[in-house]
Structure 1
Amino acid sequence: MLKTAILWPAIAQFALIALCYLWLGITRRGAVASGAVPSTDFPPGVAEPQASATARRHLANQFELPLLFFVVIGFLFGVNGASILELVVAWLFVASRVVHTIASLNGPLALRHLSFLVGFLLVGFLWLDLAVRIL
């Protein structure tokens, strides 16, 4: 039961990333509809409205630290290394990413930094835990 339960936080993290894609689409559609950009083409380096640029940068961020999370979850699954502790830490990571998303899109900078630090420490713990398990 716990072996597959560790996959649910990864699925939830994917859902968060999917929502970030949706938000990017909404902001870009709004930019085109308002006439802020001349077409639906958003090439890199071209100025785009602030909301769209913020959503784009945040989506890119979802493929940095969360990538390390997905990998360690896969390894923990592979070595049958999921206990209640790893499951709780994985869900806390997802919660930290939700807070980070909210703070990145419209919250205070200090909250964004704190939520990133918490998430980083949680992923670091999962990697350390994995290393101890395979010794």
Structure 2
Amino acid sequence: MISSPLIPPLLAMIALTAGVWVAMVVQRLGAQKKLGLPIDAFASRASTSAAFGPYEKAANHYMNLFEAPVLFYVLVAVSLATGIVTPLTVTLAWVFVGFRVAHALIHCSYNNVSHRGATFLLGALVLWINWAQFGWALLSSGG
């Protein structure tokens, strides 16, 4: 069994993704019922977006959780595989998750683009810093 302080932030990201998925399903099914749309409204991404418009906040964020966060998942996997898990790695992982939670809350609710953009950029910066410190630790270890 893998025991690492990186597992809790990893599980937190997975929980966030699951929570946004639930919100997406609830929003879409509620909108489908409210708008009286047929199941064919989900035929493609374009038709879904056109039919559901403002009810697509969670769906749009769900897709976003498979963009930059993929680099987070890779970093966790590579850190665990190499055994390079420092307190800084863990701290930055939690900070990244915190920014992703804030980003999700903004995106799925009032969706202020300035606020959302700031949380996205800060989270991405934290992720890149985490990658840089991991790379430095890996190179310094001779790995």
Cα offsets for 1:46-88 (capped at 9, x unmatched): 1222343222211100000100000011111112111221111
- Counterpart of 2:17, as a letter, is I
- Look up the match of 2:9: 9
Structure having greater relative contact order (Cα 8 Å, sep ≥ 6): 1
Percent identical: 26
Could you tell me how far apart the structure 1 residues matched to 2:116 and 2:71 are? 19
CA RMSD of aligned residues (A): 1.5
Q: Tell me how many residue pairs correspond in the alignment.
A: 133
Question: Could you tell which deviates more after superposition, 90-99 or 78-87?
Answer: 78-87
- Counterpart of 2:55, as a letter, is S
Could you tell me how far apart the structure 2 residues matched to 1:69 and 1:56 are? 20
Within 5 Å, which residues of 2 pair with 1:28-43?
28-39=28-39, 41-43=41-43
What SS does the corresponding residue of 2:120 show, helix, strand or coil? helix
- Counterpart of 1:4, as a letter, is S
Could you tell me how far apart the structure 1 residues matched to 2:113 and 2:36 are? 26
CA contact (8 A) 2:57 2:109 kept: no
CA contact (8 A) 1:89 1:122 kept: yes
Instruction: Tell me whether 1:120 sits opposite 2:127 in the alignment.
Output: no
- Counterpart of 1:83, as a letter, is T
Could you tell me how far apart the structure 2 residues matched to 1:99 and 1:20 are? 12
Could you tell me how far apart the structure 1 residues matched to 2:40 and 2:22 are? 15
TM-score w.r.t. structure 1 length? Answer: 0.90
Could you tell me how far apart the structure 1 residues matched to 2:109 and 2:56 are? 13
Structure 2: give runs of 5+ residues left out of the alignment.
none
